[in-house]
Structure 1
């Protein structure tokens, strides 16, 4: 069975992502990320997105090099080129882009302006929700699955028991139930 899952990116993206100017210090970027409780800042030159700085960039390019965050500019450690996605794309297309570009975050752009960001965590949230829906559909469609055992209503042995409202019923008791 195929289920169409073309969820618009606009439904799951976070709006107003944390941004920082390229000339700002890594210390300022870290403070903004802490304030906003996020793992990255989109780097801007004017209002144009030119890169992204992540916790990993800070750890590997500043902390591990024993540099002072207050002396290092964001532009010197940011990841480029910036991989972005258009706002009118779908969650599936975002997932494919993340896989093909090996990134965990995609800034969402609309007419050249950053309007949001979508992360792997955001996509996993959608996947979990769809999995729950699919599980419910499977349970509903499994209603006609037969089991062998004793009917909970009449006590007779049957090889055609079906769970109905959490009670295992034989064919005769199910027919009586439908007549009520």
Structure 2
């Protein structure tokens, strides 16, 4: 199966000069958690997630209207192309710990978005594909890799208990 079979065409996007308030509003209105960041030629230069927005506002202690997407967006963006095998895109997600990949053409121009959520929801299509079983295994491995807690968080419950006991 190819990326083009499961990608969402013409996703919402933003630019580096937009405010976080504007990007957050776009995500909320579209019901998405990520926006590709494009330049004037529609080339994908970064991505910004709803988590990026929340963390930046908390970290910077500034209003979302004062912060620009380009200040907090993740660069370089990990991308795939429509003709890539789904297995290759899943490997990129797994290695870089991301759930969504902008889909670009040969000139890095935005064509769509591939979401791990869409892959999971389309599992009935994968079952009919002769590569269905290996792809199912890759989906599970990708989810496990992304959902694995970071080493910084592993001690967090114990620390939280200590903090709670001290009060």
1:39-74 C-alpha deviation (Å, 9 max, x unpaired): 111111212211001011011111354320000000
**Pick aligned residue for 1:96 from 91, 100, 104:** 91
Counting only pairs closer than 5 Å after superposition, residues 45-64 of structure 1 correspond to structure 2 as 45-46=39-40, 47-64=42-59
- Given candidates 110, 117, 127, the residue that maps to 1:121 is 117
Equivalent residue pairs, number: 128
Once superposed, which parts of structure 1, at least 4 consecutive aligned residues long, lie more than 6 Å away? none
Which of 1 and 2 has higher RCO (CA within 8 Å, sep 6+)? Answer: 2
Which one has a larger percent helix, Structure 1 or Structure 2? 2
Unmatched 5+ stretches in structure 1: 1-6, 135-180
**Residue correspondence of structure 1 range 1-180 to structure 2 within 5 A:** 7-46=1-40, 47-112=42-107, 113-130=109-126
Q: Normalising by the residue count of structure 1, what TM-score does the alignment of the two structures yield?
A: 0.65
**Per-residue Cα deviation, 1:11-36 (whole angstroms, up to 9, x for no partner):** 11000111111101000101111121
Normalising by structure 2, report the TM-score: 0.70
Q: Is the 8 A contact 2:44 2:104 kept in 1?
A: no
More strand by share: 1
Distance 2:36 2:66 in 1: 19
